[in-house]
Structure 1
Amino acid sequence: MKDSIRIAKTTSENPDFMALISALDKSLWERYPELKTDYWGNNILELNPNVIVVYLKNEAVACGCFKKYDKNTIEIKRMFVSPEVRGMGLAQTILRELELWAQDSGSSFSVLETLYKQKEAIALYQKAGYVIVDNYEPYVGLENSICMRKQI
């Protein structure tokens, strides 16, 4: 199975990434319909050169990216694994690849935000060494957000 997995570094203009993000957004709005107005303004797909797409048998099945948060910190964004391939460790692989990429780019810290119902995601991030911190901008005051941080 391992040899049928390919990890591609790409940009947010990649059509496979855009399709995965569309699936991510759909799943989030289905799970959190009440939050759409609070979070929609933060849900803008900016041009991003730091994107990873995972392919399984040449089909895009997972993604993640990061953007610069401050001088030494990146923010992990758009982590998504298609439901049919969850449990294979793909999210851990993406997270590790993004952190290594960020380190190579000179960053020392990583932050991220997830929502309180994302129990599997929170557990994944904690297993990877992230700790819950006070909400950072633009999530200050949004009680449904869980913000985390890690030295990478």
Structure 2
Amino acid sequence: MINITRTDSNNPDFQKLTNKLDIELCRIYNTQPKDYEEYNRITDLGTVVLVYFNSDPIACGCFKKLDETTVELKRMYVDSAFRGRGIGSTMVKELENWAMGLGSKAVVLETGKKQPEAIAMYRKLGYHNISGYSKDTETDNSVCMKKTF
């Protein structure tokens, strides 16, 4: 059974899953965790979603406020054994609903060019490409996207 839980960044399951995410991103982009550590560090964030299969954590994501009306999706990860089942889409929708409930009007995100499945999922959910929305998102490997509610 799949369960979705709202929590915070201190949750040990979130930390476990983001460690797996870091390992996967390093494999995809041939980098080291320290190369992006300052950009990927999430602390004291109260807007984290975890997905469990039975009692096992299998997916995570979160958002942080960029301004009064916009949030940024961060640290999106679904365990490879559970991909292709709609879990990522369900998690994004949960995060969007949470953000809208807090008054947000738009969501932005950055993903990588070597993650075509993620890009396709976001497009299917109504996101469109935009230029980098911060100095940290203007890289050759990045794809930035936005959805307005």
Which interval holds the TM-score relative to the shorter structure? over 0.9
Residues 133 and 148 in structure 1, CA contact (< 8 A), matched pair in contact too: yes
TM-score (norm 2): 0.94
Query: Which residue identity is paired with 1:116?
Result: K
The alpha-carbon distance between structure 1 residues 71 and 61, as it changes in their structure 2 partners (threshold 3 A), is same
Partner of 1:78, secondary structure, is strand
The alpha-carbon distance between structure 1 residues 140 and 31, as it changes in their structure 2 partners (threshold 3 A), is closer
What does 1:6-45 correspond to in 2, within 5 Å?
A: 6-34=3-31, 39-45=36-42
Residues 139 and 145 in structure 1, CA contact (< 8 A), matched pair in contact too: no
Partner of 2:135, secondary structure, is coil
In the alignment, structure 1 segments of 5+ residues that lack a partner are none
In the alignment, the residues of structure 2 paired with residue 76 and residue 67 of structure 1 have an alpha-carbon distance, to the nearest angstrom, of 7
Instruction: Figure out how many residues of one structure are paired with residues of the other and give that number.
Output: 149
* Matched-pair identity in %: 43
Note the C-alpha offset of 1:58.
1.0
2:135 aligned with 1:138: yes
In the alignment, the residues of structure 2 paired with residue 104 and residue 91 of structure 1 have an alpha-carbon distance, to the nearest angstrom, of 20
Query: Which residue identity is paired with 1:83?
Result: S
Query: Which residue identity is paired with 2:130?
Result: V
Note the C-alpha offset of 1:41.
2.6
Note the C-alpha offset of 1:35.
7.6
TM-score (norm 1): 0.93
Greater Cα offset, 137-146 or 35-44:
35-44
Residues 110 and 137 in structure 2, CA contact (< 8 A), matched pair in contact too: no
What does 1:1-152 correspond to in 2, within 5 Å?
A: 4-34=1-31, 39-152=36-149
Partner of 2:121, secondary structure, is helix
In the alignment, structure 2 segments of 5+ residues that lack a partner are none
Residues 22 and 33 in structure 2, CA contact (< 8 A), matched pair in contact too: no
The alpha-carbon distance between structure 1 residues 37 and 58, as it changes in their structure 2 partners (threshold 3 A), is closer
Deviations 1:49-70 (A, max 9, x none): 0000000011100011000011
Deviations 1:49-99 (A, max 9, x none): 000000001110001100001110000001100001111100000000000
